[in-house]
Amino acid sequence: MEPLPYNITISAQSAAIEYTPSRSDTKGIWNATYTHGTTSVSPFGNQGIGDCYLQTVSEIAHLSLTWIGTAAYLYGNMTDWVLFPDSPAYSGGIDIDDDWYMLPDPKSNLLVNVTDLPYGSHKITLYGPYNKLLAFQYAILTIGIGYEGSSFQVQNRSIPAFLDNKPNDAFFGFHKSARNESWSRSGPSYLEKILPNGGRQPVPLAMFNVAGASNPILAFNVTNASAFFMRGFVGEGRLSKIATLTPGLDGSSSKITVFDDFSPILDYDQVLYWESGLDRDQNYTVEIRGNLGTSNSGFLDFHTLDIIDGGPDPSKQIQMPSLTKQVEKQVPAASIAGITVGAVLSIIILTILVLHWLRRRRDQAAHETLGASHISPFVGTKSDYPRRAGPGIRSKLDELEPHGAPPSSSSESNSNSNPPPSISASVTRRALRHLRRLRFTSPSSIHEVDAGPVILPPRYDHSWVANADANEPAPAPPASRRVLPVPPGPPLPPIFNEKVVVSGPSSS
């Protein structure tokens, strides 16, 4: 996914602009001027005030910028612009990725603009017209920062080279020079930049050393960055340097950038070296060294590293499964085995907890079923009153009880394991058998038997009932009780007179 457009400004004094011939050329083909002149600052020389222009009248002079983005706008002035149709090169022009275009008629201070380029690496070169003045002021480059649809807010952060009155060696690697010289602070702490209105602006404390080509003099790591800008001084006593970015862009092992921080006029805050189009999830290493084959490539003064973080590319986050496979390959086998054993134990423990919870629910349901039946057996009935059927003889109730009916496992197991208080196990089993008869016995198999008149036990006491309500009135006394009628018995024999009858003739 292509990032969103983001504009940055590169001043004409920036070391990131490639001038041909070099600004350090003694012929002075490129001259630096400031709108409000210069002032002497000891021991550094002349300091520029106001806006800076680099100007030339040479037909061989040109400047180039390389960036990763989609557009470029170059600002400045060009006097006495004349078109030479027979000799386009004398009219000046621009070269964009090796394609030549004639320099258009400047509009105000906009020298040329190039837009709608495909996102990628581009190089633009500006040539001035023959024997005419070309003054370049600054360039606005459209790079890519952030992504459409992403909730990540673009973040800017600055890392100073000098922190808490000492070098920030926690972030930067300050190496000794080829002459075994250490880094030190650039100038006094009261160094200030003079403004066009006469005001003064404090200059960030900078670190400086002599750059050599044999070993890197400065190194640092950058991560979570879409672009970064190394800022510092440009002035006399400086020469070309090399910055190496590892890894490089688009899969290359490294990227080498040449920058030249020489200027005849001192400027305290210019971009020395910068990169864009970075993979913000990649960790980059930057090394700075001299570009000459000698032990001295001039001073290097820098004070700030600005980092822009545009957030991760959402299209790359979809490819997480492949990243997971790479992580799995890096995990040792012992760790994988430990994770597997832990997962299995977790499943076993979870299964035991679920089974325990189901059993408790089943037991609770059995208690509720027993309580809903409203069966309150007589306490001690089995022991106090013998059964009518003798040993080996089944009673009518035994004949009515089904022997093939399925048991109620939940109720029976619960009743056997947790019998109610004050009720014996035999009473509980008897109540359960009664429940099973009510639940599993078909109506056709039940036969009613007339037991005859109900004869209460002698001296019946109402307290025999286990669940008798204490508030329920006691039964009426025997005199007022209702007596069940006694059914008629067999007919009585005839009553004869107590008179003896003698048969035969009577004697007189």
418 assigned to some structural domain: no
The pLDDT, as a whole number, for residue 304 is 97
The residue-averaged pLDDT of 365-369 equals 64
pLDDT on residue 379: 45
Burial label for 296, CB within 10 Å (0-12, 13-18, 19+), is middle
Would the pLDDT of 26 be above 90? no
What does the pLDDT average to over 419-424? 46
- pLDDT at residue number 358: 86
- Is 212 among the domain residues? yes
Two structure tokens written together for 103: 């320099």
Q: Does some domain include residue 506?
A: no
pLDDT tier for residue 15 given thresholds of 50, 70 and 90? very high
Is residue 174 domain-resident? yes
From 122-131, 345-354, 411-420, the region with the lowest mean pLDDT: 411-420
Q: Which residues constitute the domain of residue 228?
A: 5-312
Write down how long the chain is: 508
Secondary structure (DSSP) of 361-417: HHHHHHHHHHHHTT--PPTTHHHHS--SS-TT---HHHHHS-SSSPP-HHHHHHHHH
Tens digits of per-residue pLDDT, 27-38?
778 999 999 999
pLDDT interval class at 507 (50, 70, 90): very low
Are 186 and 207 in contact by the 8 Å Cβ rule? The answer is yes
Share of the chain above pLDDT 90, in %: 40
User: DSSP class of residue 89?
Assistant: G
Q: What is the CATH number of the domain that holds 152?
A: 2.60.120.260
Query: Residue 12 has which token pair?
Result: 């004409």
Integer Cα distance of 53 and 264 in angstroms:
12
For residues 120 and 412, the model is more confident at 120
- Per-residue confidence at 464, pLDDT binned at 50, 70, 90? low
Residue 344, pLDDT score: 84
Q: How far is CA 33 from CA 46, 50, 135, 392, 477, in A?
A: 11, 9, 9, 131, 133
Does residue 380 surpass a pLDDT of 70? no
Longest dimension (CA), the chain: 204
The answer to whether residue 375 scores a pLDDT higher than 90 is: no
pLDDT above 50: residue 85: yes
- Distance linking the first and last C-alpha atoms of the chain: 159
Q: Where does the pLDDT of residue 45 fall: very low under 50, low under 70, confident under 90, or very high at 90 and above? A: confident
**Residue 92 and residue 78 in contact, taking contact as beta carbons nearer than 8 Å:** yes
The number of beta carbons lying within 10 Å of the beta carbon of residue 317 is 11
pLDDT over 70 at 357, yes or no: yes
Q: How many domains does the chain have?
A: 1
Q: Is residue 325 part of a domain?
A: no
**429's torsion region: left (phi>0), alpha (psi -120 to 50) or beta?**
alpha
Q: Residue 481: what pLDDT?
A: 52
Give residue 223's pLDDT: 95
The Cα 382–Cα 407 span in angstroms is 23
* C-alpha span between 285 and 246 (Å, rounded): 5
SS3 letters across 434-461: HHHHHHHCCHHHCCCCCCCCCCCCCCCC
In a domain, 81, yes or no: yes
Strands 38-41 and 99-102: unpaired
Residue 145 placed within a domain: yes
> What rounded mean pLDDT belongs to the chain?
77
Who has greater pLDDT, 314 or 336? 314
- Flag whether pLDDT at 422 surpasses 70: no
Burial label for 51, CB within 10 Å (0-12, 13-18, 19+), is middle
Instruction: Flag whether pLDDT at 419 surpasses 90.
Output: no
Report pLDDT digits (tens) over 387-402.
444 444 444 434 434 4
Dist CA 394 CA 396 (whole Å): 7
pLDDT of residue 394: 43
User: How high is the pLDDT of residue 171?
Assistant: 97
d(CA 320, CA 340): 22
Flag whether 229 is in a domain.
Answer: yes
Q: Give the pLDDT score at 60.
A: 84
How buried is residue 266: exposed, middle or buried, by Cβ count under 10 Å (0-12/13-18/19+)? buried
Take residue 325 and report the two structure tokens written for it: 């496979």
Sequence-separated (6 or more) residues with CB below 8 Å from residue 31: 54, 55, 56, 264
Tens of pLDDT, residue by residue over 110-155, are: 999 999 999 999 999 998 887 888 999 999 999 999 999 899 999 9
Q: Which class for 437: exposed (0-12), middle (13-18), buried (19 or more C-beta within 10 A)?
A: middle
| Average of per-residue pLDDT across 420-449 | 54
pLDDT in tens, 189-231: 677 889 999 999 988 999 989 888 888 999 999 999 999 999 9
Comparing CA positions, the residue from 267, 272, 273 lying closest to residue 245 is: 273
Q: What is the reported pLDDT for 250?
A: 84
pLDDT at 369 over 60: no
Q: How far is CA 11 from CA 39, 51, 104, 262, in A?
A: 20, 9, 22, 14
Flag the least confident range among 84-93, 218-227, 461-470. 461-470
Q: What is the pLDDT of residues 295-331, one digit of tens each?
A: 566 889 999 999 999 999 888 765 545 544 454 555 5
State residue 458's pLDDT score: 59
Arithmetic mean of pLDDT, 452-458: 59
What's the confidence (pLDDT) of residue 500? 46
User: pLDDT value at position 420?
Assistant: 45
Lowest mean pLDDT among 126-140, 176-190, 438-452: 438-452
> pLDDT band for position 343 (50/70/90)?
confident
Distance CA 287, CA 116 (A): 34
Provide the pLDDT for residue 364: 75
Q: Is 131 exposed, middle or buried (CB count within 10 Å of its CB: 0-12, 13-18, 19+)? A: exposed
- Give the pLDDT band of residue 362 (cuts 50, 70, 90): confident
190-225: b (≥16 Cβ within 10 Å) or e: ebebbeeeeeeeebbbbbbbbbbbeebbbebebebb
pLDDT range class, residue 465, cuts 50, 70, 90: low
Beta-carbon contacts of 464 under 8 Å, excluding residues fewer than 6 positions away, are 378
**What pLDDT was estimated at residue 238?**
87
Q: How many CB atoms lie within 10 A of CB 478?
A: 9
